[in-house]
Amino acid sequence: MQGFVEAHLAEPITLAGLARAAPYSPWHAARLFKEYVGRAPFGPAGVRH
């Protein structure tokens, strides 16, 4: 997921896109993102749904 985020910083990143890049379900991708980053991947300055 980190590589996907770094490669797409200039574009809107969606939770679905993040999940496809992982490849996990959106729920699982969000859970893993929060586990490693310390916050949810959506909301202010996060990815879009």
Q: State the residue for tokens 């991947």.
A: 41
Q: What is the pTM of this model?
A: 0.61
Give φ, ψ of 39 to 5 degrees.
-155, 160
pLDDT tens across 1-48, in order? Answer: 788 888 988 988 888 888 888 888 888 888 888 888 888 877 655 555
Q: Where are the domains of the chain?
A: 2-37
Q: Are 1 and 15 in contact (CB under 8 A)?
A: no
1: exposed, middle or buried (C-beta count within 10 Å: 0-12, 13-18, 19+)? Answer: middle
